[in-house]
Structure 1
Amino acid sequence: MDFFERQRQVKRMSFRLIVLYALAVVAIVIVVNLAVAWALGAFEAPAGELAWLMVWTSLLTAGSILLASLFRTIGLRAGGGKVARDLGGVLVPEDTSDLRLRRLRNVVEEVALASGVPVPEVYVLEDEQGINAFAAGWSPADAAIAVTRGALDRLNRDELQGVIAHEFSHVLNGDMRINIRLIGLLFGILFLAVMGRTFLYAGAFGGGRDRRDQGSNPLPLIGIALVVAGSVGVFAGRLIQASVSRQREYLADASAVQFTRQTSGLAGALKKIGGLETGSRLRTPKLDEVGHLMFGEARAHSLFATHPPLVKRIQALEPGFDPAELDALAQRWRAAPPSGMAEDAAMGLAPGAGAPRSAVTGPALGPATGSSGEWPGGAGAVAGPAAGAAADAGGTQPVARGPLPGVDTRHPVRPDAVVATVGAPGQPAYHRAGSLLNHLPPELLARARRGDTAPGLLFALLLSEHADVRQAQLAALGERHGAGAVTGALDEAGRLAGLHPLLRLPLAQLCFPALRTHPIARRQDVIATIDVLARADGRISVFEYALSRLLHRELYEATYDTPPWPVRSRSLPQARNAIAALLAVLARAGHPDEASAERAYRAGLSVILPGQDLPMTAPQHGVLALDGAWPMLDGLDPRDKARLIEAVVAVIADDGTMTVAEQELTRTVCGMLHCPLPPLTA
């Protein structure tokens, strides 16, 4: 199942979730009606009075559930970080010196860059000793990844990588939005049980009333009725969680294996869950709301488990796995629980291993395919995980790395092959992400991760190479923020001088966690400044425009939980003018003469709108004309988006090859369409 089919499936799942929620509300309303009528003796009353009682009871019950769900959903608008903090999560600082936390941040950054999505916030659930993790958020732009302290302590780097890759599958597949919406819906369903317990307490102990009056006090009876209805809500909630979550966990496991190209890490994490006494259990009282988010089953026992049986998940990864092995592991670990960092050290991936940083290579990580023990490309190949592991160790020797390709180097490309990688990163993408991280200067990495320097770094990334355009941008920046901001942007631009085009987008992605730590007012200011810099002069390159609009969109979504434009479904005929405008802008930007531009435009048009004769006209406002096209293009059906991306690649790579700059332009265009594209070259 490819990315675009999964997007269609998520839409169907959203409809299914609404139907299940509606059925649960109806069932609860019926139970509450029966319980209230029984408690008040209304079955003996005239039919008219009974009908009015049931009407008002139904309205109050359904209204309470809907308002509670709405209240909880609005409270979650702050994004995935809100969910993590509600569960006791602690944000991992960007400048942490803790080796475990540094290792976690490095793994998350590598997987994010390989996936083509912004780096999410990273949290640790410090009070949870079970091995578990989750991804939460409304979109990749406001996502958060959280792991338990148990996962941090017990898992080695391979295993942690497998768990994080599993969670990123939920980010890419759109599962997060369903999951966070389900939290709000479940809160409404469970709300009545909480109210019922409150009424029971108030009826039994409230007000200091005379015991002789308790027989006429209806609160205990109403409380019992609500508790009964709430138990129906709990039952319905767990049933909904199980129906929504189980199959997606198998898919996420398979995606993680496709991503990392090794089963040992993910299977090892599952074995540790099965072999350790704490398993994947959580102690939070909010289990009924968040059980479906987790990597592993969060309850000790459950009639309606949110996850497939642990043994079946392991056997899907290792078909010959014997369940008796878990008993042997449990016996061994009962005396000496595993330490992830110690296992890393034994493999040469952490301090104390006796291996210099430059000696860390792919094979030290364990089998890349589950059996071969070698990374593709040989022992000396630069692998993303290996590079990250070396960085975790805090050594001083540089990791061996090959040169980045020349800016004008052309690589053969097939449009359908590019489309196939959207939302489906594999091991090559992970290696490329590690390589890109290794090529970023340490000073720039540190500044991208800091909240005080990340905004200035983004502004500097948007400064044009043309002197007159840059002057207009600096003047606009000075008007908004003063001379200090201008000086700061120029200082950052000096640090960026000579930065390879392949590194610009990854560097921008690394800025996002730092930007999301700012108050909303500051983020709004950054969004507005990015917009001003993009519009400072119409003479702006397509790549500069695309990067500025992508940064604007992602930061806007992280702040407001919605794209900067209305989201409406569009058909290809409705979007034909927007499609023509995008293809025309790309054709004119990438081809030196009118004839070659016309040929490239026609090549793309034949892919997305075959048989239609739309002339290639120059947009009135140049590249800025695309501001009106994105709302139309982003509203296309997932399958139509796939064809559009194929058409975009056909235009940019009319000769069957793409330069590095053209590849990054393709990635930014895909990002605007909410279709994350992994790095194509490293």
Structure 2
Amino acid sequence: MNFFERQRQVRRISVRLVVLFALAVAGTVAVVDLAVWFVIGVGSPAETVVTALVVASVLTVALIGLSSLFKSISLRRGGGARVAESLGGTAVPPDTRDPDLRRLRNVVEEIAIASGTPVPALYVLEKERGINAFAAGWSPADAAVAVTRGSLDRLNRDELQGVIAHEFSHVVNGDMRLNIKLMGLLFGLLVLFVVGRVLTLVRGGNRNPTPLIGLALIIAGAIGMGVGRIIQAAVSRQREYLADATAVQYTRQTAGLVGALKKIAGLKESSAVRNPRADEVGHMLFGSAKGLKGQMLATHPPLIDRIRVLEPNTRPEELEQLRRQWATRPPSGAAEDRAMGLADGSTRVSGQSGSGTPGRGHVPGGAQAPGSRAPGEPRTPAGAGLGAAADPAAVVAAIGGVEPDALDRAGRLLDRIPEHLRVSAHETEGSVSLVLALVLSAHPDVRAAQLAAVGRHFGEAAADEVRRAGQALTGLPPELRLPLAELAFPALQRRTPEQQDAIMATLHDMIAADGRLDVVEYCLSRLLHEQLHEARHHRPSWAGQRYSVAAARTATATLLAVLADAGHDDSGHDDARPAARAFAAGLGRLPGDWRGVAYAPPAAGVVALEHTWGALDGMPAHAKQQLIEAVVTVIGHDGRMTVSELELLRTICAMLHCPLPPVAQAPGRVA
């Protein structure tokens, strides 16, 4: 099942949830109506009975609906951070020197880069000694990943990687949004129960019907909540199996995830979460919030079943043996890391690995790679740089997943970014200077105008910081620009909305200083703008409407024309010129009749894409899959994809909410 099929599955589940919830509400209303009818009495006039039943039904539906809507909106507005903080989560400091927290951040960043998703906010539930974790948020842009202190203490790096990969599956597959919908729906039924309890306390004489109506609401709410919990548990168990499978796909080994599950089964603390609000988010957790205690409405499959899916020969006796072994000497993740040859628990020693995970070597970050352009050097032509294989099917297969060596490749990529740049990317102030420095021009006059723009928005001291950041970026290979910017995005999201607006305005002025917009600048500014917008508003910067394939026809043609124009030499003068051939090849990947559509590069160049995102993102999943195949066909029509084309491809996929990992690159000629 690829990413697009998983998206269709989530949409089907969402529709099914609405139907089941509507049935639960109907049953709840029926119970309330029955109580109202009983209170009014059989002898009342028919008009009175009908009016009372209609009023009771409307009030019940309104109470449930408005409560659910309120809860859903409040969860959306707070993003994943609000959920994490409500359970006592503490944000991981950007400049932390704690080895456990550094290891956590390192693992999260590796998986984020490898899976093509934004780096989420990180939280630790310091008071929780059980092994557990969760991902929360309305979209990947506002996601937060939280782990318990027990996870940091007891899990080695491979096991922690397996747990984090499991949570990233929920991010990529759309489970977070599904979980928030579930929380909102159940809250509406809970409010009905609470209102019923309040009404039972009302006193006003023997003939006062209020307590009886309150009792009816309690019964109705309890029935509705019971049905809701059953629905929630069934959906959650199904998604947990999928998340386990996706985690194995990410890490390419089962030992880490299996090891984490076995430690949950073998340790006294298990996966228990003691926070009083744990039940509210129980379906979002890696393991059951109640640990190994039995539950009639379990939100997670039995541990032995999850383990056996990954390791079929596991027997219950083995888990019992682990319980006895760890009763007096619980495992230490840090000690296991050292035994596996990890330097400090956060990075691997070159050539060594544990649990079947390949080790990583170190490549000096300051080395100049073929075709690279340091900030301050002239821009290279579109055809220059590193090449990559152009296989549409392979790119589509990689979306929402991780290729066999993608996680290791992401680790090596992060290793190539100098430590001081990674530190700056995590800092609230340093991240701003770093991102702005990525667009500094080589031309002295243009650079001076860009720094003056920084000074106007943030002051001369900030302009000096950007100048120094530009010097620190000298020699950074071009394929590391977007990954470095992606590391900085979470720090930028911590700024106030006014500061974020000022950052975007400054970036816009800097890009406009030379009177033109190249592909690299567009990708950086577009990704930054969209991630900041979605993190603040929890929706795309466009309307977010649904579009049919036919309605998105013009936007599709514009996108392919921009790509053909940006990536191919248009020096020919006949209809068979390279850009036109690439455009035609892309259209050939799409269904329907495109014979009347001729290649016409937009005069606005890459800026023309600004008018296409709403329609393209609004298309159904299968249409997005076909569109990305067409995009790769156009970009790779000359047999390779340059670094700037790869950045544009990743930007397009991000705008379509189809996370694309870094594509494997191979050396290519420099134009």
Q: Would the TM-score normalized by the shorter structure come out above 0.5?
A: yes
The residue type paired with residue 356 of structure 2 is: P
1:65 and 1:176 map into 2 onto residues whose CA distance is 22
1:358 and 1:146 map into 2 onto residues whose CA distance is 23
Deviation at 1:216, TM superposition (A): 5.7
Comparing 442-451 with 277-286, which one deviates more in the overlay? 277-286
1:117 and 1:438 map into 2 onto residues whose CA distance is 19
Equivalent position of 2:648 in the other structure: 665
Structure 2 residue 322 is the aligned partner of structure 1 residue 329: yes
1:537 and 1:580 map into 2 onto residues whose CA distance is 29
Q: Give the one of 606, 617, 621 matched to 1:638.
A: 621
Equivalent position of 1:74 in the other structure: 73
Equivalent position of 1:393 in the other structure: none
Equivalent position of 2:107 in the other structure: 107
Structure 2 residue 355 is the aligned partner of structure 1 residue 366: yes
2:72 and 2:512 map into 1 onto residues whose CA distance is 35
Q: C-alpha deviations, 1:110-133, integer Å up to 9, x for none? A: 111111111000111222222211
Report how many aligned residue pairs link the two structures: 644
Structure 2 residue 598 is the aligned partner of structure 1 residue 615: yes
Contact 1:583–1:648 (CA under 8 A) maintained in structure 2: yes
Structure 2 residue 133 is the aligned partner of structure 1 residue 139: no
2:649 and 2:365 map into 1 onto residues whose CA distance is 29
- CA distance 1:62–1:645, shift in 2 (3 Å): same
Question: Secondary structure of 1:188's partner?
Answer: helix
Contact 1:126–1:148 (CA under 8 A) maintained in structure 2: yes
Equivalent position of 2:376 in the other structure: none
2:519 and 2:143 map into 1 onto residues whose CA distance is 28
1:264 and 1:530 map into 2 onto residues whose CA distance is 45
Contact 1:238–1:288 (CA under 8 A) maintained in structure 2: no
- TM-score norm. by structure 2 comes to 0.90
Q: C-alpha deviations, 1:401-460, integer Å up to 9, x for none? A: 999665433333312211111111134111111111111111111111011221222222
1:401 and 1:447 map into 2 onto residues whose CA distance is 16
Equivalent position of 1:591 in the other structure: 568
Deviation at 1:284, TM superposition (A): 2.8
Equivalent position of 1:254 in the other structure: 245
- CA distance 1:276–1:649, shift in 2 (3 Å): same
Contact 1:382–1:401 (CA under 8 A) maintained in structure 2: no
Structure 2 residue 482 is the aligned partner of structure 1 residue 489: no
Equivalent position of 2:664 in the other structure: 681
Contact 1:68–1:188 (CA under 8 A) maintained in structure 2: yes
- CA distance 1:463–1:565, shift in 2 (3 Å): farther
2:645 and 2:605 map into 1 onto residues whose CA distance is 18
Contact 1:523–1:559 (CA under 8 A) maintained in structure 2: no
Question: Secondary structure of 2:110's partner?
Answer: helix
- CA distance 1:307–1:399, shift in 2 (3 Å): farther
- TM-score norm. by structure 1 comes to 0.88
- CA distance 1:263–1:527, shift in 2 (3 Å): same
1:608 and 1:468 map into 2 onto residues whose CA distance is 45
Contact 2:193–2:217 (CA under 8 A) maintained in structure 1: yes
Alignment of 1:376-387 (within 5 A): 382=360
1:668 and 1:627 map into 2 onto residues whose CA distance is 12
Structure 2 residue 18 is the aligned partner of structure 1 residue 18: yes
Structure 1 residue ranges, 4+ long, deviating more than 6 angstroms after superposition: 398-403
- CA distance 1:180–1:145, shift in 2 (3 Å): same
Alignment of 1:273-312 (within 5 A): 273-299=264-290, 300-312=293-305
- CA distance 1:537–1:27, shift in 2 (3 Å): farther
Equivalent position of 1:346 in the other structure: 339
Equivalent position of 1:156 in the other structure: 156
Question: Secondary structure of 1:567's partner?
Answer: coil
Question: Secondary structure of 2:440's partner?
Answer: coil
- CA distance 1:559–1:140, shift in 2 (3 Å): same
Comparing 331-340 with 284-293, which one deviates more in the overlay? 284-293
Deviation at 1:662, TM superposition (A): 2.6
Question: Secondary structure of 1:608's partner?
Answer: coil
Deviation at 1:485, TM superposition (A): 3.8
Alignment of 1:414-493 (within 5 A): 414-465=391-442, 470=447, 473-493=450-470
The residue type paired with residue 75 of structure 1 is: S
The residue type paired with residue 361 of structure 1 is: G
Equivalent position of 1:624 in the other structure: 607
Deviation at 1:604, TM superposition (A): 1.6
Question: Secondary structure of 2:234's partner?
Answer: helix
Equivalent position of 1:60 in the other structure: 59
Equivalent position of 2:381 in the other structure: none
Deviation at 1:293, TM superposition (A): 0.7
Deviation at 1:91, TM superposition (A): 0.8
2:461 and 2:364 map into 1 onto residues whose CA distance is 37
- CA distance 1:52–1:420, shift in 2 (3 Å): same
Equivalent position of 2:172 in the other structure: 172
Question: Secondary structure of 1:411's partner?
Answer: coil
Superposition CA RMSD, Å: 2.6
Deviation at 1:267, TM superposition (A): 0.7
Alignment of 1:208-227 (within 5 A): 215=206, 220-227=211-218
2:225 and 2:278 map into 1 onto residues whose CA distance is 11
Comparing 398-407 with 437-446, which one deviates more in the overlay? 398-407
Question: Secondary structure of 1:573's partner?
Answer: coil
Q: C-alpha deviations, 1:126-162, integer Å up to 9, x for none? A: 2222221111111111101011222222211111100
Deviation at 1:234, TM superposition (A): 2.1
Question: Secondary structure of 2:15's partner?
Answer: helix
Q: C-alpha deviations, 1:498-532, integer Å up to 9, x for none? A: 21111111111111221222223323333444445
Deviation at 1:278, TM superposition (A): 2.5
Gaps of 5+ in 1: 205-212, 369-374, 376-380, 388-397
The residue type paired with residue 190 of structure 1 is: L
Structure 2 residue 219 is the aligned partner of structure 1 residue 228: yes
1:559 and 1:535 map into 2 onto residues whose CA distance is 25
Equivalent position of 1:571 in the other structure: 548
- CA distance 1:276–1:410, shift in 2 (3 Å): same
Structure 2 residue 529 is the aligned partner of structure 1 residue 552: yes
The residue type paired with residue 382 of structure 1 is: R
- CA distance 1:346–1:4, shift in 2 (3 Å): same
Equivalent position of 2:380 in the other structure: none
1:666 and 1:452 map into 2 onto residues whose CA distance is 29
Comparing 299-308 with 478-487, which one deviates more in the overlay? 478-487
Q: C-alpha deviations, 1:176-228, integer Å up to 9, x for none? A: 1111222122111211222333444x448xxxxxxxx7756655434432322
2:186 and 2:504 map into 1 onto residues whose CA distance is 34
The residue type paired with residue 311 of structure 2 is: E
Deviation at 1:345, TM superposition (A): 2.3
1:131 and 1:561 map into 2 onto residues whose CA distance is 30
Contact 2:365–2:476 (CA under 8 A) maintained in structure 1: no
Comparing 296-305 with 56-65, which one deviates more in the overlay? 296-305
The residue type paired with residue 267 of structure 1 is: V
Deviation at 1:573, TM superposition (A): 2.9
Comparing 660-669 with 18-27, which one deviates more in the overlay? 660-669
Equivalent position of 2:639 in the other structure: 656
1:622 and 1:43 map into 2 onto residues whose CA distance is 75
The residue type paired with residue 197 of structure 2 is: R
The residue type paired with residue 648 of structure 1 is: V
- CA distance 1:474–1:572, shift in 2 (3 Å): farther
The residue type paired with residue 479 of structure 2 is: L
Question: Secondary structure of 1:582's partner?
Answer: helix
Question: Secondary structure of 2:135's partner?
Answer: strand
Q: C-alpha deviations, 1:326-345, integer Å up to 9, x for none? A: 11111222222222222222
Equivalent position of 1:209 in the other structure: none
